[in-house]
Amino acid sequence: MKKIILIASVILSCLSFGATPKEKNIPDWSVQPKLGIIKGDYYKNEKRFRQGHLGVLEVVKNNGKIVLVEFNEMTRPNYYNRYFQNVSKRMSSYNFKMGEAKGVAWIHGVLKAEKQMLDEQRLTGEFDTVAGASNSIQQSMIPLAKELEPSTNKPSNQKFYSIAEDLGKGITGRLKVIVEDGKIISCRYDEIFADSPENIKLPRQKKYYRQSKYESVDYDEDSRIGFNIQMDALNEKVVKTQNMLDLTGLPATEETGDYKKSGFTTRNTAWDNYLKLAEKLQEEMKKDKVLK
């Protein structure tokens, strides 16, 4: 009986998205953001390409220099695999699924194109692509960049501020804030797991490597309310109140409820991590006098 259980466990392990790249023969890639503060004029373009996939390109320039290029894509709502319908590709298990099928992940082509744009300080022209992961680059990212490029040659009325820090235990916190005419119009916080399961301390979280809590379709939030739901509520509240440090009324901010009895905490520890980064980023924005 024990032998049967062991064999079944091995089979399930091999089928899971949490298997390591070596086990699944999937090439490596990194989802880690650059640590520290990035700020500047913000430019964004998004459009649906390729039967309904939504491409989103963000560019930040500071003193005339491109300091950030970030591309993401949402799968179309009627995607042939129901599990991945309307799912963010950049930091979800979509990359593992594609890597298993093609030997190269969607993000490989994206990271290569982003690096070229940053290194060569240009958004248009010819770019090297990754075989097997170039469709989104050729049909979405490059066309979006071409459309966006003229506007990046003049100051933007939207300002971008982000901060990323290593929180320990194999997690990186990242906060992105967009300001327009002195008002916060977007406040997005996420926590990104390490690129390798060996670097993630909590055993139950190791299977989420190279994913983020917000974008993952597999992640189980210990506070028992979806991480994405909590962070969407944060964004809505900050935009409404213009107060980045007031968590009153947000979900999973209090130690209450019956879940404590079953070993789960009802307060999401991410809130304390968020506040730490929010305080630092707010000081930077005050220093630059971008907030009214």
Calculate Rg over the CA atoms of the chain. Answer: 20
Q: In what order do the strands lie in the sheet with 65-74?
A: 65-74, 53-62, 36-49, 158-168, 171-180, 183-193
Mean pLDDT over residues 267-277, rounded? 96
Torsion from C-alpha of 253, 258, 261, 266, nearest 10 degrees: -10
Sequence-distant (6+) residues with CB within 8 A of 209 are 18, 20, 170, 193, 194, 195, 196, 197, 199, 200
pLDDT at 266: 78
Q: Around 15, how many Cα atoms within 13 Å sit in the side-chain half-sphere?
A: 6
Mean pLDDT over residues 61-76, rounded? 97
pLDDT at 241: 98
> For the chain, what is the mean pLDDT?
89
pLDDT at 4: 41
Mean pLDDT over residues 171-194, rounded? 98
Determine the residue type at 52.
Answer: G
pLDDT at 56: 98
User: Quick one: DSSP state of residue 88?
Assistant: B
- Helix (H) / strand (E) containing 118: helix 106-120
Q: Which of the residue ranges 10-19, 90-99, 246-255 would you say has the lowest mean pLDDT? A: 10-19
- Which residue, 60, 74, 33, is CA-closest to 191? 33
Q: Which residue has the tokens 């963010």?
A: 88
* Fold match, 41-153 / 158-288: yes
Q: Do the Cβ atoms of 118 and 69 come closer than 8 Å?
A: yes
CATH no. of 41-153: 3.90.1010.20
How many CB atoms within 10 Å of residue 121? 11
Residue 244 has pLDDT above 80, yes or no: yes
Residue % of the chain over a pLDDT of 90: 80
Distance CA 36, CA 284 (A): 12
Confidence of residue 50 (pLDDT cuts 50, 70, 90): confident
Which structure tokens are listed for 177?
Answer: 């804030």
Residue % of the chain over a pLDDT of 70: 87
Domain boundaries, the chain: 41-153, 158-288
Torsion from C-alpha of 142, 145, 147, 151, nearest 10 degrees: -170
Q: Do the Cβ atoms of 233 and 249 come closer than 8 Å?
A: no
Residue 261 has pLDDT above 90, yes or no: no
pLDDT at 265: 53
CATH no. of 158-288: 3.90.1010.20
Distance CA 264, CA 128 (A): 47
188 forms beta bridges with 176
pLDDT at 163: 98
Residue 262 has pLDDT above 70, yes or no: no
Confidence of residue 283 (pLDDT cuts 50, 70, 90): very high
Residue 279 has pLDDT above 50, yes or no: yes
Question: CB-based burial of residue 67 (10 Å sphere; 0-12 exposed, 13-18 middle, 19+ buried)?
Answer: middle
User: How far from chain centre, in Å, is Cα 234?
Assistant: 16
Confidence of residue 81 (pLDDT cuts 50, 70, 90): very high
Q: Around 206, how many Cα atoms within 13 Å sit in the side-chain half-sphere?
A: 11
pLDDT at 24: 56
| Predicted structure pTM score | 0.88
Q: Where are the beta strands (DSSP E) in 75-193?
A: 158-168, 171-180, 183-193
DSSP-based three-state secondary structure for 69: strand
pLDDT at 190: 98
